[in-house]
Structure 1
Amino acid sequence: MMWDLSGRVALVTGGNGGIGLGMARALAANGAAVAVTGRSAAKNAQAAATLPEALVIEADLTGPGAAEAVLAQVTARFGRLDILVNNAGTNIRKRPEEVSDEDWHRVLDINLHSLMRLTRAAHPLLKAQGVGRVINVASIMALFGLPFSPAYAASKGAVVQYTKVLATAWAQDGITANAVLPGWIETELTDRAREHQPGLYERQIARTPLGRWGKPEDLGGIAAFLASDAAAFVTGAAIPVDGGFAAMG
């Protein structure tokens, strides 16, 4: 079967909850051995209960040497890496004129810089398999601007461009790289956005053709597809998973 991931190993950053956990579950359901990272010990424990065969790693990916340490744990447990899902992310909700240097660097360190460092460190492992997969979780905020997410939108736009660079640079190594652009998904991150912006939930439902917010499991199918042989000729793509939100222009 083209979607069969048996024998492959996937690492999902920020995989202890929300979109990351939805993706990790889908990869595991299609046969992959899965490792997930997360900063919260409590959420990591919940993820371990949900994915009993998974390797759950407590890690702050912005720390020095964090990428190499995580990959060392993955290879010690599974002996290889085939699929890297860069999902870890954060947001600080302030208007552009309110964002401090510290705010800006905090968001970009997690959303962009740690993604780059982990992907760079994973390159030899993915290349060794000859069929490596990089899946970067961006956002439809790479396409649209919101007044209260300047650093987040900038980081996610950069993730899309970086993904295109990876696709062209690493194709000769047998590695594909694609970006997934979630729309309005019900997670802890968007729960805080709804607290910050009264009426946000209803406004986005009204603008979304499918008439609802997404759920983390709505991202599972695209993750399993992009990780599988079914997507062997798909690289450099930025794919919205948003209920039609981006199609409204």
Structure 2
Amino acid sequence: MGKLDHKIAIVTGAGRGIGRGIAEKLAAEGAVVVVTDVDEQSAVHTAKELGGGSDRHVGLRVDVTDRACVTAMVTAVTERFGRIDVLVNNAGWDKVGPFVDSDEADWDRVIKINLYGVLNTTKAVLPIMVGQGHGHVVNLGSDAGRVGSSGEAVYSAAKGGVIAFTKAVAREMARHQVTVNCVCPGPTDTPLFASIGGDNPKLRDALTKAIPLRRLADPSDLANAVAFFASEEASYITGQTVSVSGGLTMS
């Protein structure tokens, strides 16, 4: 028996990286997982790889910045499964560089994906959870949003918004028995991390030495925390922000 048996869970940005790790963990704990990603092929492939039969899990192309697309996905999920028990807002994107040299077009993309994406999916799912009288929302923030990160000013701002949004919505939803919590990754060994400089051996070595536990996070480390917040074990925890960073940041 898994802690998420028979739960219906949506995970955004789950085609690879942290999102895929989360999808794998939720499936292993018994959930039926709706894998969404802007890359349809990766979403479908990940869903098939989760096991449990060819049609147990679902892979869908979803652009979290497109409200109509998000609404259509949520409608399709409720029509097929009848409810949504868990929403994991994981989809994200970043471009690293000094703020003074940044391109305003990149600001828009960072904020649309990392902040508006969370607003769009949460707005679409919460009425369903309210109607059910239960649900768990887990937002992926970032330690960049808690303490700031050089070269990631706009990303830090967007993730800081996610953290604050988590707390506010948790207050609004508590009377409906819907919990809302935030998991903040530190440096994590993912394709996105590699694309923004994480494949530089000197950077990886410096980060590893700075982390008290002396390693980068693996997607499974984040997935374990998300699975806890998505389960009934965390039914009395809401509005909380947890850093999964090997001790890199502490508060």
- Classify the TM-score, shorter chain: over 0.9
Q: For the residues of structure 2 that align with 1:164 and 1:38, how far apart are their CA atoms?
A: 26
Q: Which residue of 2 aligns with 1:6?
A: 5
Q: What amino acid does structure 2 have at the position aligned with 1:181?
A: C
Cα deviation, residue 194, structure 1: 2.2
Aligned to 2:164: 161
Task: Name 1:15's counterpart in structure 2.
Answer: 14
Shift of 1:64: 4.0
Partner residue of 1:134?
A: 137
**Alignment CA distance shift 1:113-1:124 (3 Å):** same
**1:81: which partner in 2?**
84
Counterpart CA distance in 2 for 1:144 and 1:68 is 33
1:197 positional shift = 6.2
- The DSSP-based 3-state class of the residue aligned with 2:179 is strand
1:62-141 alignment to 2 at 5 Å? 62-141=65-144
Counterpart residue identity of residue 98, structure 2:
R
Is 1:85–1:134's contact at 8 Å kept on the other side of the alignment?
yes
- Report the residue type matching 1:121 in the other structure: A
Gapped runs of 5+ residues in structure 1? none
- The 1:62–1:177 alpha-carbon spacing in structure 2 relative to 1, beyond 3 Å, is same
Question: Is this contact kept in 1: 2:33–2:57, CA < 8 A?
Answer: yes
1:48, distance to aligned residue in structure 2 (A): 2.7
Partner of 1:59: 62
Is contact 2:95–2:196 with CA below 8 Å preserved after alignment? no
Distance in 2 between residues matched to 1:80 and 1:195, nearest whole Å:
39
Determine what percentage of the aligned residue pairs are the same residue. 36
8 A Cα contact 1:10 1:82, kept in partner = yes
Counterpart contact for 1:82–1:125, Cα < 8 Å = no
- Give me the TM-score of the superposition, normalised by structure 1: 0.94
More displaced 10-residue stretch of structure 1: 105-114 or 92-101:
92-101
Deviations 1:1-42 (A, max 9, x none): 7x6212211000001111111111111111111101111133
- CA RMSD of the aligned region, Å? 1.7
Matched, 1:42 2:41: yes
Structure-1 separation of matches of 2:132 and 2:214:
41
Write the distance in 2 (CA, Å) between the matches of 1:155 and 1:116: 11
2: CA distance, partners of 1:23 / 1:228? 13
| CA deviation profile, 1:125-159 (whole Å, cap 9, x unmatched) | 11122221010000111123233111111111110
TM-score scaled to structure 2, two decimals?
A: 0.93
CA contact (8 A) 2:188 2:217 kept: yes
| Matched residue, 2:28 | 29
> Which amino acid in structure 2 is aligned with residue 18 of structure 1?
G
